[in-house]
Each structure stands twice: as structure tokens, then as C-alpha cells.
Structure 1
Amino acid sequence: MKTSLSERYITATINELPAEMHDDVRAELEASIADAIMARIEQGEVRETAERAVLTELGDPSLLAANYADRPLHLIGPRYYLTWWRLLKRLLVIIPPIVFVIVAFAQVLAGGNIGDILAEAIVATISTILHVCFWVTLTFVIIERSGGDLGISWSVDNLPEPQDARRGKGDFIASLVFIGLMLAALIWDQTRAFIRIEGESVAVLNPELWPWAMISLIGLLVLEAIFALVLYTRGGWNFLMAAVNTLLSMAFFSWFITLLVRGELFSEQFTNLWSDNGVHEDNLYTLAVIFGFGIAVISIWDMIDGWVRATRSNRSAESKCGALAT
């Protein structure tokens, strides 16, 4: 004898439930399905048609079973979604850039060429991003499924302070001043030089970097000025601006670290100043480490600062939208 659609539906539903729920759910479904079918038959429908329509309205047995068991059908529900998303963004802003710079710097110390440095740093960064996304998400999935409580709740104390428009103007002016000083320093170093020994000018940067390497550096400074202008015009940070800022910071880091690894960054006259007492190579190595570490710290700080500001601006926008909605 062929099993009815109703019996097949009920069996499919209870098979996804704990054994102790089988009898109660079966009895409830048998009664509710029979009543719904009978109501349709009384309205003139054929039994087979009525049965199919009732079961179709009930939907997927797995979904119905999840409702009976109060089991979520999502990785992370609305209760923890915002906490997960905010934590994930914060970790992705901080950890991957740090890994990129540390791995690149370690390759510099190991004497690797520029190809090895970038390859190792990029691979390590991508791997870090995947690990951060996976482990953070897995942690919240476990918390969601186990019914744990993070003890995190929103309160009015979380509301951000209003942004002062004058602060944005001050940042814009400071950025332009800094960029102007950088350009002036480049020109002065190559024309007048900051170091003079016995009346002779000693340039810090290698004059052979002109024109193409220096033009690329000047181009990056111009892009920084354009970025500062766009940031000021739009009135604040967002995640797109933070991403562009990260790319610019990584471009500056790559420019300096590439020339540093190749030994092409400093002028020969400047490096000769470090060759006293027959320890030329050790002194140059120390100089490269100090300079590279300084560039790495500045790049990481700039990237993190941009993402932090973007996150604060996003929270402020969400609060304003919430206030307007109420």
C-alpha cells in the first residue's frame, strides 16, 4: 500500500526532531492536517487536491521541524549579528596590515629580494584574513547554537559624540601642510641638502632616483593631497575612504621598502658617513632596520587610524538613522 502524502510529510518532519518530541508532534500534525483537509473538502475540493494544497502551505518539513525545536536556520542571528560584524571589521582593520608589514620587514631582514618580500607578505596577509573571518564566525556560531550570552547590550552611553566641522577643516589643513613640507624637503635635499660637511653638500636620498622614482613619490604625495581634499569635501570618513587610505599607505610603504632593499634609497655620500671604524656594513644594516621599522610603524598607524575614524563615522550615521526612524 502506497504511503499517503500526509504520512510522508509527518515522518519527514519528526525525523529531524529529538525522539522525545516525536509522539507529541505527530499527534499535533495528524490532527491539524486532517482538519485542514476536511475544511477544503467541505468547500468542494477533491481529497487529493486538498491534501496537496494543505501540505504545500505548511512548507518544507525541515523548516517546520526547526520551528518546533526552536532551532535557528542561520549561522548568526540578529541577536549577535551586529556584535560579530563590528568585531570582525575591527580585527580585519588591525591584524592583516600588521601581519603584512611584519612579514615584509622580516623578509627585508632576511635579505630577500622585492619579489619574495611582496609574495610572502601578500600570502601571509590573505591567510590571516581567512583565518580571522573563519575563527571569529565559528566562535559566534557556537555561541548562537549553544544559547550562550555575551553579556553585551546597547545603551545610550554608546552614542558617539557629535563631530565638530572645524576639526575636519583642521585635519585638511594639517594634511596639506605636511604634504607641502614633504615636497619642500625632497627638493631641498636634492638642491641644497640638509647635511653639509666641510662646505660640501651631502644629499640623504639618492640623486639617481630622479626622475622616475622621485616622480612616482611626488605622484603619491599629490594623490594624498587629492584624498585629503575629497575627504574634507564629503565631510568625513567612510569605509571606502578608509580602504583608499590603506592602499595609499601600502603604496608609500612599498616605495620606500623596495628602494631600501635594493640599496638604492640613500645617496652614496650619505652611506659613506656610516663607514667609520671599518664597520660599514653593520652600520648600514642598522640604519636600514631603523628606517624600515619607522616606515612600518607610520604605515600601520595611518591605516588603523583611517579605519577607526571610518568606524566611528559609520556608528554616528547609524545612530542618526535610528533617531530619524523613531
Structure 2
Amino acid sequence: MTAAVVLALYAVVAVVTLPRLLIRGELAERAPRLAIAVWLAACTSAVASVILSALAAAVPATVIGHGLAEFFEACAAMLSHGAPLTSPGTRAALLGAAVIAARITYCGAAILVRARRERRQHAGMLNIIGRHDGELDAVVLDHDEAAVYCLPGRKGRAVITTAALRSLAPEQVAAVLAHEQAHLRGRHHLVLAAAEAFHRAFPGLPLFTRARSEVARLVELLADDVAARRHSRIHIAAALVRLATGRAPAFALGAGGETALTRVKRMLNPAAPLGHRERIAGLSAVVLLLAGPAAVAATPGLRSFLAHHCHNISIF
């Protein structure tokens, strides 16, 4: 029961406190990929803690301690004979865990299905009114608004409007299309879908609300960094300035948008990359967030398991 209480308290504290801790420092500016992993690990950690808390409260540690085979036999016996596992409190805990797991799964699936349908419709429209430019490796769309975006999916493609081609220099076009290709290769739409699923499943909670906005910003920083490996930061910054007011479809990832101007400053004044120790610390935080709740939930059962087997060994 102690593990269940610890996990439940951690989930409450994490939802409120982790957003304040994670926005501090320069991790996002210096290592956006690692920052994305930390935010998603924090969300997963909070949800897993609630589910594991319910399971820890429902399954006695002594049941686990008697061995894996006995554990399943005991579960079957409890379910069929009305043992303590089927008490009202236990049933409520298990039902709560199942509801939480089902809700996050449903929200994630609904987001992916809807986005796929909208992308398919947009792709059909591009096939009719757009034209593929082999030199640019992008679809050119006749439009009076300067915009560059990508349409993710199995047959992902980058899209640039004729207005953007007129307003951008060739070097800037190449740089911004490299940004969009980075989104496609990195499958950033799945990262955004995960953050959106957490937010939609648990609306109003600070951790998930902040994670959605931060992950959306971080994938743009990451794509900027990938593009900067092959193109001048000045060209990327100039393209972002011209595309700042450009709008992309909601289900696509656009180079412009509301974060464009702040990203210009970052392009022109890049922060120093993380050192080896700082990167190790960040990766350790991800591992701790993901493995910590499971370790806490498993501790009582492990103690009971060791106590049971040590007792048997002492008898012989």
C-alpha cells in the first residue's frame, strides 16, 4: 500500500511541479531533441504512476512474492472465488487504471485517424492543383500567400507556394525546404500527436497543457538545427522572417507560424551545444522518469519475493 500512496502522490506533484522545473534552464535551446524526450517522458511518467498506483493497491505484494506461476494461480483463484482482489475498493482501483489507459489510447488513436483523413484529403487536392518540382523535391502550389509546409505520412511531401518562391532567394528556399524534410524524416507529426493525446486525455492539467505547447515549439527548433547542418543559419533566419505570417493547414507542419521570429534570434545567436556530462544528465533524467514509477511499484513485490525464497532456503 505504501508504494501505491507514493506513486499517487508523485503523480499529483509531477503534474503541477514538473512544468515549472522543465522550462528552466537552456535545455530546449541547446538540445531540443533531448528536451522533447524529457517532456514526453514526464507525461508518460505521470500517467504510468497513476495506473501503477491502482495496480499496486489492488494486487497484494505477498501474492507476487510467491513466484510468477503462483501469482497467476492466485489471481485466477481470487477472481473466481471472490477473494480480496475483488473487493469494492480493489475493483474501483483496477477500473480506474483501465479507464485511464483506455482514454489515452482512444485519444491517441482518434488524433491519428483524424489527421490521416485530413492529410489524405489535402493530398488529393495537391494532386489536382499542385505540381511536383523535381529540382526542389517539393510540390509547388499556386497561392498568393507565402507559405512552406510539409504533409506528413507514408508518402510525405514538402509544399511551397508560388508566393514563397517569389519572395525567397534560392538559398533560402533550399534552407526552408531542408527544414520541412527534417520534419518528414524525423516523423515529428507522431511526436506532436503523442503530446496532443496527453493533453486531450487530461485537459486542464498543467503538465500536459505545457507539454503540448513546448513540444510543438521544440520540433520546430529541432528541424531548424537539422537544416542548419547543411545550410547557412542566415539563410534559414531570413526565410523565417519572410514566412512568419504564413499559415499552414492544422494537420501539417509549417516553417513559419508564431514561433518564427523567436527562432530567428536563436538562428543568429545559437547557444553552445550540451557537454558530455550535461547530455548524460539529461538522458539519465529520461530513464529515471520512465523507469522510476515501475521500480517503485515493483519494490514491495520484490521484497516479498526475496523474503519468501530466503525463508525457503533457510529451511533447507
State whether TM-score is above 0.5: no
TM-score using structure 2 length: 0.29
Higher relative contact order (CA closer than 8 Å, sequence separation 6+):
2
Which structure: larger Rg?
Answer: 1
Normalization by structure 1: what TM-score? 0.28
Structure having the larger proportion of residues in strand: 2
